[in-house]
Amino acid sequence: MTLSRNKAQEMAMNIIYQALLYQNMGEDFDIKELIASNFELPFEEVDLYVRQIVVSAILHKDEAIEVFSKNMTTWKFSRLALLMQSIMLLSYAHYYHIKDVDKGVVIDVAINLAKKYLGANDYKFVNGILENTLK
């Protein structure tokens, strides 16, 4: 199944959000099953980008949080809304683990998702943290 890049990024953000919810509730989950169930397809038939970025975001979550935390002086990552966390983890995975992508493109994607799904000015916070984190 091939999606537009925007739709793939939204789906990936949503799946990362679901994974964070499960983790916060202390529930076990299989990331491949979570991805497959969101698409109602076998895991292998889901868009490659979505599979790669979601798995990478979850596998490298602790690493990403450590990097973000160094750039957050008045906030703790754990105190951010889960949806904001998922956008930031998506961005981190996209930039550091999917590779071959411009920092500006990753930040633009995050800003657009933040404007669509978060509070009115939350995109500014996302922009500032990503600008300082993605190097």
Q: How many CB atoms lie within 10 A of CB 104?
A: 10
Domains with residue ranges and CATH for the chain: 5-133 (1.10.940.10)
Per-residue pLDDT tens for 1-39?
668 888 999 999 999 999 999 999 999 999 999 999 999
The string of pLDDT tens digits covering residues 77-98 is 999 999 999 999 999 999 999 8
**In terms of pTM, does the model score above 0.85?**
yes
Confidence (pLDDT) at 1:
61
Residue 11, pLDDT score = 96
Q: Which of 41, 125, 43, 35 is nearest to 79 (CA)?
A: 125
Tokens of residue 93, six digits = 């995975």
Number of neighbouring beta carbons within 10 Å of residue 63: 13
Q: What is the pLDDT of residue 73?
A: 83
Q: How confident is the model at residue 99 (pLDDT cuts 50, 70, 90)?
A: confident
* pLDDT at residue 40 in the model: 96
